[in-house]
Amino acid sequence: MTRWLRRLFLTAVVVFVLAPLVVVLVASVSTDEVFTGWPSGLTTRWLTEALGNEQFQVGFVYSVRVAAIATAWAVVLGTCAAYAIHRFDVPGAGLLRTVFIAPLSLPRVVAGFCFFVLYASLTPAMYGTVGGVAFAHVLLLLPFVVSLVGAGLATMDPELEEAARDLGASPLTTFLRVILPQIRASVVIATVFGFLTSFDEVDMSVFLMPADTTTLPVAIFLRLQQNQDPTTSAVSSLMIIASLLLTALVALVGRRAGLFAAPKRKERVA
């Protein structure tokens, strides 16, 4: 009985999560301009219009640039922070870990407004720029990077690092050739998750750019305020499919390359 209840609960959760995505995917290929239920026919008209929309094209390029810069900085800074917290006797390490995780409890609308006030009062030149938006997104990505990389460091054998240092390896060489290969899976997962999170961000980004130059999710949001047609469903469907394909591709390539293989533990000699 418990097994069947568990399966029923998991099925209900899966349906709850996937139902909105399925509705968006179906609406993007439906001939009905107002989706009210089962589509009366199928068409690729909305997908074609979404791909040819200049605002969406500019927004896609803008989103990729912002996400790439924000993810690169977040991974570098977050990895260094996680390593320092886990490996060095840093005073107040628990407090530092809490500080890095704290942005998760801050509403993104509030964070976006704070960055808007910061740029408007101190650095107006950063408003609406790729660097300005990416700088704000780093705040959102750091908690995930610190948590994921920290989890990888927690399972790493510290004796390997000590052995490398005893054999004369420099700190940088030890990190690149001993530590990084052991936490590579955590770093890759943090990179992919961070890129997708930055690419899909709306609440913060809408405060940081003008209406004529926006990221793709903000462009979708602005179009919904003007025209509620299936074109927005089409571009949303393309984003859903692209995210799934990117995740699957990284998982497949990583698995074939042995990226996610568990590190070998040394055998103890009795």
Confidence of residue 262 (pLDDT cuts 50, 70, 90): low
69 confidence band (pLDDT: 50, 70, 90) = very high
Task: Give the distance between the most distant pair of CA atoms in the chain.
Answer: 73
190-245: per-residue pLDDT in tens? 999 999 999 999 989 889 888 777 889 988 888 888 777 788 888 989 998 988 89
Q: Are 203 and 136 in contact (CB under 8 A)?
A: no
Classified as helix, coil or strand, 220 is helix
- Closest listed residue to residue 81, CA positions, set 99, 68, 103: 99
Q: Which residues contact 208 (CB under 8 A, 6 or more apart)?
A: 112, 115, 116, 119, 127, 128, 132, 133, 136
- pLDDT exceeds 70 at position 4: yes
Percent of the chain's residues with pLDDT above 70:
93
Domain boundaries, the chain: 57-229
- For residue 243 the two structure tokens come to 């995210």
Strands of the chain, DSSP E = none
Q: From 186, 185, 181, select the one nearest 161 (Cα to Cα).
A: 181
Q: For residue 232, how many other CB atoms are within 10 A of its CB? A: 22
Residue 83, pLDDT above cutoff 90: no
For the chain, how many residues are written? 270
Which tokens sit at 74?
A: 């977040």
Per-residue model confidence (pLDDT) at position 62: 92
Burial class (CB in 10 A: 0-12, 13-18, 19+), 12: exposed
Closest alpha carbon to 26 in 240, 248, 244: 240
Rounded Cα–Cα distance for residues 221 and 239 (Å): 14
Rounded to an integer, what is the distance from CA 4 to the centroid of its chain? Answer: 34
Model confidence, pTM: 0.84
Q: How does pLDDT run across 140-198, given as a tens digit for each residue?
A: 999 999 988 988 888 877 788 778 877 888 878 888 888 888 888 889 989 999 999 99
**DSSP state, 179?**
I
The CATH code for residues 57-229 is: 1.10.3720.10
